[in-house]
Amino acid sequence: MTDSPVLPTSGREWHLLSRPVGWPKPEDFALVEAEVPAPGEGQVLVRNEYLSVDPYMRGRMSAAKSYVAPFELGKVMQGGAVGEVIASEAEGIAVGDHVLHFFGWREYAVVAAKNAVKVDPEVAPLSAYLGVLGMTGLTAYAGLLRTASFKEGDSVFVSGAAGAVGSQVGQIAKLKGASRVVGSAGSDEKVKLLVEEYGFDAAFNYKNGPVSEQLRAAAPDGVDVYFDNVGGEHLEAAIGALNEGGRIAVCGMISVYNDTEPAPGPRNLARLIQTRGRIEGFLVGDHYDLQPQFVQEVGGWVRSGELKYRETVVEGIENNLEAFLGVLRGDNTGKMIVKL
């Protein structure tokens, strides 16, 4: 096996100190200096170069039972990361290789080779493997094409459409022959981006008026597919606009993540009887079988320039928490990335 002559003995990492109530506060977290062990058999030591922060991480800060285990108090948190291998005790991964793994929120990570995926910086920028060609991209692809059963000619509505997932959903729908794609976002600047850069047929700023009224104006013939990143008022509006046989794929509900009281559900669920509509939640982890097809198809669109993406890059691990809070506030356009 290969070894780097001088390996780090310590590095910085973020720990969860207490479980946030409502909006996370800085005192719920700590950036600490921790020992970096040498890799054991079958492991590699990675110097992380880019870290991912995502809305779902808010759920892991709670002790509530969910689809993924909560972060442990007093322990380092986790998240997507990509970096360079600086020491290897694993067959098939050499020093100098770049890998994608799930041990972010830290500068250095010891990763079992079976949990590391080699990525090629010649094919796409390393940060793209955390977004457009990573978990967020696969989320968009699987949620639209499999969960929402998208078909050519469908009219599609996407909430949180300027985010990493939403912007890809809209573009994939257009590339696959949607009759109309409508998006909502939280600023006039993002609305302009959706139409002018991402090719949405229409978009609106949900802060400018009732979502139901703006959606009706943007999609006068209704919607066949709603891709939900937001929940709340958006979900109710989409049910109201749903055509017969319409499908709703629930990816996230960022509008309620920091609520301390249960949010009221849509008041018009009975309309699903009339439309024979379907609402289905999904997790990207259930759809990794689509990964090869996804990388081939979306990778081709990225290389050809047919699918565009943006990243909001925050520099420095010391700003990891602020970047995460920025995602919850909607500060990002496209994927939020932390560059170390």
Q: What is the DSSP letter of 330?
A: T
Write the CA distances from 113 to 41, 94, 164, integer angstroms.
9, 11, 28
CB atoms closer than 10 angstroms to residue 272: 16
E-assigned strand segments in 113-241: 117-119, 155-158, 180-185, 202-205, 223-228
Beta bridge partners of 79: 103
Contact of 233 with 209, CB cutoff 8 Å: no
Instruction: Please give the chain's pLDDT, 340 residues, in tens.
Output: 554 468 999 999 999 999 999 999 999 999 999 999 999 999 999 999 999 999 889 999 998 877 788 999 999 999 999 999 999 999 999 999 999 999 999 999 999 999 998 988 887 889 999 999 998 999 999 999 999 999 999 999 999 999 889 999 999 999 999 999 999 999 999 999 999 999 999 999 999 999 999 999 999 999 999 999 999 999 999 999 999 999 999 998 877 777 777 777 899 999 999 999 999 999 998 998 998 899 889 989 998 999 999 999 999 999 999 999 999 998 988 899 999 9
Prediction pTM value: 0.83
Interatomic CA distance for residues 89 and 95, integer angstroms: 10
Interatomic CA distance for residues 180 and 208, integer angstroms: 22
Matching residue, tokens 């960022």: 254
Tokens of 105: 């929120």
Contact of 241 with 157, CB cutoff 8 Å: yes
Matching residue, tokens 């809070």: 325
Q: Write phi, then psi, for 51 (nearest 5 degrees).
A: -120, 150
Q: What is the DSSP letter of 264?
A: P
Q: What is the DSSP letter of 178?
A: -
Contact of 116 with 100, CB cutoff 8 Å: yes
Interatomic CA distance for residues 312 and 54, integer angstroms: 12
